[in-house]
Structure 1
Amino acid sequence: MLTDPLLPLWLKLAYSAFMLVLVPVYWRAYGWTNFLYFCDVALILTWVGLWTEHPLPISIAAVGILVAQAFWLLDFSAHLLGRRLTGMTDYMFDSRQSRFLRGLSLFHGWLPLLLLALVLRMGYDPRALPLWIAIATVLLLVSYRWLPGPPPRDDRRPVNINYVHGLSDEAPQTWMHPHLWLAVTLIGFPVVLYLPAHVLLLGLAGP
């Protein structure tokens, strides 16, 4: 017996159209390593979740980026009001950057809102927390071991992916030994970013 879909077809098609533009454009502009950013992984997980209508990939994406992208939204909103908070979204207001690429990057603002709406609609799968921690750990270790750190390259390849070399893309952090900083990200990100999102989503949507 057929059942009504949880999610509207127009949403699936609109999201797919966006992804079919973003993926080749980003690949050409930044290279494949750009898709190792947490936010880009969340984009792909959301795409899977929309079509499968399974709460697990949506929950994994939400627990992984909700808190971090809330900071992005806050910093972007402050920029619009003529204020500068952290510099996280400075690139969105850099006239030297392509307007088209900056327009695509607006997904950092609407994706967490979409994920929150999807979790409220579909429910939250608590398995998302350990699964995202495992995914993030692998991404951090790969980014640290094999991908370039700051300063930026001339070819626009991403550097300092997922902040494994510090909070700035201009120069590596000097507060502590690089290995210690990596340990801070491996332990600190789950505590500061993922666990609060997990508690929030459980409270809002339940399992």
Structure 2
Amino acid sequence: MWLKLSFSAMALAVLVCYWPYYGPQNFLWFSDVALFLLVPALWFKLRLIASSMAIAVLLPELFWTFDFLTLSYLTPIASYMFNSEIALHIRFLSALFHLALPPVLIYLLYRLGYDRRAIVVQPLISAVILILTYLFTDPARNINWAFGPGFVQSFTHPWLYLFGLWLALLIVVYLPTHWLLTRYFRTCQSKPSTV
């Protein structure tokens, strides 16, 4: 219960603080989507949602954590955390939820098991999120790199780039994560255990 309450409180704090600071488009980041979908997954033991979010963000969040703990000396993925122009409470919340996602995901996978259907569901979710991001967010924000690999690209048609990005996520992130989770966690589609 303490985990459900504290994680839900953190998600609510992110919602309340990020909305006026960044605007609602910020919630299309894959990590933000995972944060909010894990709340019902925790409360209602939704294995498929937990598994889908694990495929989407477990490896990227572990990479973010490594980058943050090494003070972004190797890559720029967490460098915004050291930008003093961003409000301290926003950076604190960002660090809190990015650091919390991997252990919560691993805990849910351990308790509920891994649902193999996630490899079908998550690519569909990511396709919808990428399309929404492209249609409704500011290219300057480049949320989920929907407009280019770290910058707004102009070397190919935007929709072709978006499809390539989706395909890259599938091949580089989703399939390897699916393989790892089926190898190291109990896989099933029956009624989940209690959390």
* TM-score, normalization by structure 1: 0.84
Q: Which ranges in structure 2 are unaligned for 5 or more consecutive residues?
A: 188-195
Aligned AA (2:105): L
Larger relative contact order, structure 1 or 2 (CA cutoff 8 Å, min sep 6): 2
TM-aligned CA distance change 1:108 to 1:175, over 3 Å: farther
Q: Which ranges in structure 1 are unaligned for 5 or more consecutive residues?
A: 1-8, 151-158
Q: Give the number of equivalent residue pairs.
A: 186
The higher radius of gyration belongs to 1
TM-aligned CA distance change 1:99 to 1:202, over 3 Å: same
- Residue 102 (structure 1) aligned with residue 102 (structure 2): no
Aligned AA (1:130): V
- Residue 116 (structure 1) aligned with residue 106 (structure 2): yes
Query: Cα distance, 1:177 vs. partner?
Result: 3.9
1:34-84 per-residue CA deviation (whole Å, 9 max, x = no partner) reads 1111111101111011100221211111111011112211211221xxx62
Aligned to 1:144: 134
TM-aligned CA distance change 1:78 to 1:176, over 3 Å: farther
How large is the RMSD of aligned CA atoms in angstroms? 1.5
Query: Cα distance, 1:174 vs. partner?
Result: 4.4
- Residue 166 (structure 1) aligned with residue 148 (structure 2): yes
- Residue 134 (structure 1) aligned with residue 114 (structure 2): no
* TM-score, normalization by structure 2: 0.89
- Residue 125 (structure 1) aligned with residue 98 (structure 2): no
Aligned to 1:153: none
Aligned AA (1:49): A
1:138-177 per-residue CA deviation (whole Å, 9 max, x = no partner) reads 1111212332112xxxxxxxx2111111232xx4134544
Identity of aligned residues (%): 38
- Equivalent residues of 1:73, 1:109 under 8 A apart: yes
- Equivalent residues of 1:143, 1:162 under 8 A apart: yes
Aligned to 2:161: 181
Structure 1 stretch 176-185 or stretch 69-78: which is displaced more?
176-185
Aligned AA (1:199): W
**Cα distance in 2 between the residues matched to 1:177 and 1:78:** 36
Aligned AA (2:167): I
Q: Secondary structure at the match of 1:105?
A: helix
Aligned AA (1:145): L
- Equivalent residues of 1:149, 1:165 under 8 A apart: yes
- Equivalent residues of 1:45, 1:57 under 8 A apart: yes
Aligned AA (2:30): F
**Cα distance in 1 between the residues matched to 2:13 and 2:186:** 34
- Residue 52 (structure 1) aligned with residue 49 (structure 2): no
TM-aligned CA distance change 1:94 to 1:160, over 3 Å: same
**Cα distance in 2 between the residues matched to 1:51 and 1:117:** 13
